[in-house]
Structure 1
Amino acid sequence: MNLRHNALEVLKETSRTFYIPISMLPSGLLESVASAYLCMRAIDEVEDHPELDNSTKAKILHRISLNLQAATENSTLEDFSRDLSQYQEILPDVTLRVGEWAMLAPESIGPRIWDATAAMADRMAYWSETNWQIETESDLDQYTFSVAGAVGLLLSDLWAWHDGTQTNRSHAIGFGRGLQSVNIIRNHREDLRRGVSFIPKGWRMEDMHVYARRNLKLADQYTKSLSAGPALNFCKIPLTLAYGTLDIMALGKEKLTRSDVLALVNQATR
């Protein structure tokens, strides 16, 4: 079984935005970042699943978390997906194959990814149980840390593991929060259709744009502190796309076109 090949194929299908920067990473780091992305995509698909009630979402997320917490160097693919077979008719492939993604990273860093994914799954379960009640800016900060700021922290750990790159962890959280807040703005109408809003009570969309840009400034500082190398090459692409998305939505458009994305990626990789 070629875990790397399988992971890149699934990554290409699920997110071209992240497929491009991940596929450019050097061996070892590529597997680690792909593992982290796909493990978190696996649980994100549960959180966003349109046919599961919130209680069932929380149950599945807690189960995945416990499976990850129980993992050892001797764990098998099946150990990571224990008790998920009863949901195999409804869960997407990327979730059912969480064991493949968990075992993709080198064993010297894999457990850090298991830890981050387990913690995120439990936090997602909490938000599912509360029906994503976001009433204040503090609530929004909690949620964006839960599902994205913590990813920034994990990325910092992966850069340090790979080549000793050191980063400001507060800026790392802002990097994650900034990208997530852009996603919240972009997906707001779709979220409303399923009865969920991640925008605090009393906020206008303009306030959400201010929040996003404030966090993206931290993301700018995070990225500008990086020396030339794989971490910088990776971070520039999603950050450039986030700014591009905010700019076109401020003009009343819904999303970037494919040609917009390609132009921005070319700009980020010069």
Structure 2
Amino acid sequence: MIEQTLLKCEEMIQRGSSSFYKAFAGLPSPRREAVHVIYAFCRMIDDSVDEPEESPYSIFELRSHFQNLDHAEGHFIWPALRWLFENFPQSSKDQFMLQMQGQVRDLSFTHYETMDQLESYCYLVAGTVGEMLLPVLRDDSNEEAQSAGIALGMGMQIVNIIRDVGEDLTRGRRYLPLEVMEKHGYTQQELERNVVNDRFIAVLQELKGAALDWFKEGLDNVHTYPPESGMAVELAAAFYAGILDDVAASGYDVFRRRAYVSDEAKLLMFRRTAARYPSPFGGKGAAAVH
């Protein structure tokens, strides 16, 4: 029974994020399945706000069911989450609650003024994911590892914000901080007209620099992870950094084209990363990425 439940979580991550799925495909069981469960629930939280008409629950219903997880029924995510906490007892529910708090913010707080505001949001919706993954990816816990996990999540969320500027605009949201736009002389009116110019590129490049700084901090202690987990973390960061490269290659036009990383590019990144890890792990991972 639980096998079918976990398979449904895997199907969600396959459909929702090929980058995340491929980055963590080389993990041993049950770490791999735990990543699928965490992704699936976070996807449901995100969809409940961004696509409420397609979501089986509102964000408030998700929060209520999660608070009463022992008795929650009606969807495969509830037994999957019970399995997660049973198999990884060091996992905390606090980060999931913070994640939902961040998504609730999207319902009312839609235009960001400062980088501090943006980074607070990025922690809630993505830094918390780094914290959720930590007890799944490694058997110990320390402050340095926790900070690194948060940093990786923060960097990934800023990449998402850069990639999704146009899409978010159609939802009435502007995550680009006004102070950064004003610093580079780019206006809200230009944003609404989808203007790509040197000033807009400078705004995105500043955010790109922030994302890369978070990635650097997040990878500083990757050598302390079990090899399979360390490689998964490196791949996830590389795939997301690849989105930034694609944004630049398209002239920073994030209004008319959604940036992505091709399967060929992911395979190249995998080979470069696997070369730093001892065999036979590299060979095992290669099969997973294919």
Cα distance in structure 2, aligned partners of 1:121 and 1:127: 10
In the TM superposition, what is the alpha-carbon distance from 1:198 to its structure 2 partner? 1.0
Higher mean alpha-carbon deviation, 246-255 vs 180-189, is at: 246-255
Amino acid at match of 1:242: Y
Q: How many residues align?
A: 244
Indicate if the aligned counterparts of 2:96 and 2:128 stay in contact, CA closer than 8 A.
no
- The amino acid that maps onto 1:183 is N
CA displacement, residues 162-217 of structure 1 (integer Å, 9 cap, x when unaligned)? x2264443332221111111111111111112221211115244334323333433
Matches within 5 A, 1:39-188: 39-49=41-51, 51=53, 60-72=58-70, 75=71, 78=73, 97-105=76-84, 107-109=86-88, 112=91, 114-130=93-109, 132-160=110-138, 163-164=139-140, 166=142, 167-188=144-165
Identity %: 22
Cα deviation per residue 1:231-253 (whole Å; 9 max; x = unaligned)? 21111112111222212212325
CA contact (8 A) 2:149 2:218 kept: yes
The one of 218, 221, 246 aligned to 1:225: 221
| Alpha-carbon distance in 1 for matches of 2:160, 2:67 | 29
- Equivalent in 257, 265, 270 of residue 270 of structure 2: 265
- Structure 2 residue runs of 5 or longer lacking an equivalent are 182-199, 252-256, 276-290
CA distance in 2, matches of 1:233, 1:50: 35
Alignment of 1:237 onto 2:231:
no
Deviation of 1:44 after TM superposition, in Å, equals 0.9
The aligned runs of 1:183-222 (5 Å cut-off) are 183-202=160-179, 203=181, 204-222=200-218
Moved more, 114-123 or 189-198: 114-123
**SS of corresponding position for 1:145:** helix
Tell me which residue corresponds to 1:19: 21
* The structure with more radius of gyration: 2
TM-score for both structures, normalised by structure 1? 0.78
Post-superposition shift, 1:124?
Answer: 1.0
Residue by residue over 1:55-95, the C-alpha shift from the partner in whole angstroms, topping out at 9 and shown as x without a partner, is x99x92122112112223xx35x1xx5xxxxxxxxxxxxxx
CA distance in 1 between counterparts of 2:83 and 2:123 reads 25
Instruction: Identify if the C-alpha distance between structure 1 residues 112 and 169 changes in structure 2 by more than 3 Å, giving closer, same or farther.
Output: closer
Letter matched to residue 155 of structure 1: L
| Corresponding residue of 2:278 | none
Aligned 8 A contact 1:145 1:173 in 2: yes
Distance in structure 1 (CA, Å) of the matches to 2:81 and 2:151: 26
Residue 21 of structure 1 aligns to which amino acid in structure 2?
A
Describe the shift of the 1:124–1:239 C-alpha distance in structure 2 as closer, same or farther (beyond 3 A): same
Measured after TM superposition, the shift of residue 116 of structure 1 is 2.4
Gaps of 5+ in 1: 82-95
Q: CA RMSD in A?
A: 2.8
